[in-house]
Amino acid sequence: MSATIETPQKINFRRYKDGDSKHVPWNKHIFQAGYTYKCPTYIQSTPPCQGQCPAGEDIRGYLNIVRGIEKPPVGADGKPSMPWQEYAWRRLTECNPFPAIMGRVCPAPCQSACNRSKVEEYVGINSVEQFLGNYAIEKGLAFTKPEVETGKRVAIIGGGVAGMSAAYQLRRRGHSCVVFESSNKLGGMLAFGLPAYRTPREIVDAEVQRILDMGMEVRLNTRIGKDVSFADLKRNFDAVFIGIGAQTGNKLDIPGADAPNCTDGISFLRDFNEGKLDHAGKRIVVIGGGDTAMDVAAVARRLGSYDADAESRDQARVIVAARECDGGRGQKGAQHWRQSAEVVIAYRRHVQEMPASKHELDAVVQEGVEIQPCVAPVAVIKDEYGMATALRVIKVDWVNKKMIPKEGSEYDIPCDLIVSAVGQSVNWSGLDTFKNNLNLANVDKNLQAVGQPNVFVGGDAIKPYLLTTAIGHARIAAEGIDTYLSGKPLDKRPKIDKSLFSLQRDLIKRGVKFDKIDEPIRGTDSSKAVIHNFDDRSDRYTIPAEALFLGHFTHTPRKERQMLAIDANNVLGNIDERLVALTEAQAVAEAKRCMSCGQCFECDNCVVYCPQTAVKRVPKKEASIGRYVVTDYDKCIGCHICADVCPTGYIQMGLGE
């Protein structure tokens, strides 16, 4: 009988490492009154999840609501003014008006930065966001309309993610908005770039409509520079926001790429979402390694191809796969003419270096897509009619991050269709004066166009990146527009440019009165105000895992969302959403894994372990989120035990420096 040898887990919260034998002065680690002049101060800082969130969401804030630490405000009847789910959703949507969508499709840089991964695995922030977004749609929650209208009018060019997010933020501030969209539908990449199996159309429509319900004018099929001049916008509006997006896919720059059956990923997905694609072909090659490449490959597998032997081939149509299939899962009534497509993804780097989200990559592999890594396209092979019949590639090595082709290693990948998913660019037609030599706009820190004091830009027009990035740009630009319209100077934005929790604002909301304190709040032991030893460094300091007491947290597995069991055998015609949302109980349990980095979550460690009883709870009438304990400095001897046992790094030995 063989014994199972378990590999011990690395303990990463210990003060000393295995093998340490060097003696250090005891007064470096054993503090006594005679050795230290430092006393604890309460340092609020930015958690790394929020620091890496392009939209700037108060992630720690809404997770604390979901887990029950922060309660909804109480109404006049003594009862909560709203369910906690709605309260968390409203906190989330202060920055991001598309939580149900972003909870599904955002690659979640917040999770990559999460300090919880130093204990076992990151917190599933996206899954909680999806739960809250779904709840709001199911309950028909609406955004609050502005109480006061400013009388100012803002023109928004582009009805995609950036434009609609800007309209949302500006309407919250009471400004009138007119959205100019060149297409026949709002949503941009949400409507034309995301396949329905990733984000159902009803989800997209609901979150776009919720913004429209705040009250704004929309002009579809209107292109600036053609139907309306930019000079007219400048003359008739108080400010302009440009959020035109990168709607043009980059073409292949190799011989033969002008073949009719060579296209780009953006055009392919747009045609699919507009119902223009009947089928993808028998053999498809996709070039690229990002999420767009994964989407193209997955769509091609679902569309399949016509059976060349079927008598009814010329009459067969696959306008919408679900119409012809048995609930989107089989090929009922269509088996005689439709068959699967062979899809190959050609990528110049290694698979592990693909920028696509891991779950999207795993999904297409499970659905039968072949990936050929470390190959670079050389040429498109055509037949006598000028149609592409193969993609010629060459194998490559990578040395010191430099691609080196292998001489004589070329080979052909047979195909009926080649789709290039290697980036996208902005079409500045009608707005050419704003683009630089990189085909992007030049803007300042407030996203104001250089040399144009009332024109602001956001989204892909600044840098094609994530949908969430466009949402963050819209928030910053809307704040800049609001400041400009109020006649105030545009100040320098903070180092950590996020929606930050304000202790002073929260105390005022709770009815606490105290002497005027200028922001930012600095730690002090002499103030007689309710805030006397608190220091808010959130605008400039992101707290690392090393500043936390990770030993407080027990191993708690992540509540993972399940992926629908779709594989090579049932992918044809399958348009079911792949990602299964968490239940309410699962979402709460996942939120409880959050370590509330940089803000107190009321664990009582400091109160329990203080040997001098110098740390005490704040009186309830002066308490707030993140304002749970204070220090009596007449009793404190600077032993630093409270700082050592603080799980969140909220307590630091700072006063006295």
For residue 319, is pLDDT > 80?
no
Both 160 and 127 in one domain: the answer is: no
Rounded Cα distance, 235 and 222, in Å: 18
What is the domain extent for residue 632?
Answer: 22-46+500-552+593-657
- pLDDT score of 657: 52
**Per-residue pLDDT at 315:** 35
Say whether both 91 and 219 belong to one domain: no
Does some domain include residue 415?
yes
The answer to whether residue 15 scores a pLDDT higher than 70 is no
Kindly indicate the confidence band of residue 330, based on its pLDDT and cuts at 50, 70 and 90: very low
Nearest C-alpha neighbor of 63 from the set 140, 124, 122, 107? 124
Task: Please tell me the predicted confidence (pLDDT) of residue 521.
Answer: 65
Provide the pLDDT for residue 171. 98
Give the pLDDT mean for 531-556: 91
Give residue 320's pLDDT: 31
> In the structure, what pLDDT confidence band is assigned to residue 402 with cuts at 50, 70 and 90?
very high
227 occurs within a structural domain? yes
Mean pLDDT for the chain? 87
Q: Are 418 and 391 in contact, with CB atoms under 8 Å apart?
A: yes
Q: Tell me, yes or no, whether 470 and 576 share the same domain.
A: no
Residue 21 has pLDDT above 70, yes or no: no
Question: What is the number of residues in the chain?
Answer: 657
For every residue of 56-106, which 3-state class applies, written as one string? CCCHHHHHHHHCCCCCCCECCCCCECCCHHHHHHHHHCCCCCCHHHHHHHC
273 and 409 together in one domain: yes
How high is the pLDDT of residue 656? Answer: 56
Beta pairing class for 248-249 and 424-425: antiparallel
pLDDT computed for residue 6 by the predictor? 47
Asked if 54 and 38 sit in the same domain, the reply is no
Confidence grade of residue 184 (pLDDT, cut at 50, 70, 90) = very high
Give the domain-ending residue among 376, 400, 422.
Answer: 422
Whether 537 and 395 map to the same domain: the answer is no
DSSP 493: P
In a domain, 215, yes or no: yes
The beta-strand segments (E) located in 471-605 are 534-536, 562-563, 579-580
Query: pLDDT at residue 478 above 80?
Result: yes
**Residue 3, pLDDT above cutoff 60:** no
Residue 333: pLDDT band by 50, 70, 90 thresholds? very low
Q: Total domain count for the chain?
A: 4
Calculate ∠ Cα 422-113-359, nearest 5°.
50
Do residues 282 and 406 share a domain? yes
- Examine the fold and report which residue of 407, 422, 437 is the final residue of a domain before the chain moves on: 422
pLDDT band at 518 (very low <50, low <70, confident <90, very high): low
Q: Which residue carries 């609501």 as its tokens?
A: 65
Residue 86 pLDDT: 98
The per-residue pLDDT for range 598-643, each reduced to its tens digit, is 999 999 999 999 999 999 998 888 888 888 998 888 888 888 899 9
Percent of the chain at pLDDT > 90 equals 70
In a domain, 443, yes or no: yes
The separation between the first and the last C-alpha atoms of the chain, rounded to the nearest angstrom, is 63
Chosen domain end from 376, 404, 422: 422
Tens digits of per-residue pLDDT, 227-255? Answer: 999 999 999 999 999 999 888 899 899 99
DSSP label of 449: B
Q: What are phi and psi of 588, to 5 degrees?
A: -65, -45
Question: How far is the C-alpha of 7 from the C-alpha of 135, rounded, in Å?
Answer: 42
Are residue 512 and residue 597 in the same domain, yes or no?
A: yes
| Structural domain includes residue 15 | no
Residues 411 and 513 in one domain: no
Which residues lie across from 424 on neighbouring strands?
249
Q: Is residue 12 part of a domain?
A: no
H, E, C per residue of 127-177: HHHHHHHHHHHHHCCCCCCCCCCCCCEEEEECCCHHHHHHHHHHHHCCCEE
Half-sphere exposure of 130 (CA within 13 A, CB side): 24
Assign residue 511 the CATH number of its domain.
Answer: 3.30.70.20
Q: What is the CATH classification number for the domain harbouring 239?
A: 3.50.50.60
326: three-class secondary structure by DSSP = coil
d(CA 165, CA 171): 10
Q: What is the mean pLDDT of residues 436-453?
A: 92
Short-list 244, 286, 245, CA closest to 263:
286
Residue 328 lies in a domain: no
512 and 631 co-located in one domain? yes
Residue type, 146: P
Q: Is residue 584 part of a domain?
A: yes
Nearby residues of 230 by Cβ (< 8 Å), 6 or more positions away: 224, 240, 430, 431
Give yes or no: residues 504 and 611 share one domain. Answer: yes
Q: Do both 70 and 87 map to the same domain?
A: yes
Cα(233)–Cα(77) distance, integer angstroms: 49
CA dist., res. 93 & res. 81, Å (int): 18
Q: In the structure encoding, which two tokens stand for residue 491, read together?
A: 């100040």
Q: What's the CA dihedral at 586, 589, 593, 596 to 10 degrees?
A: 110
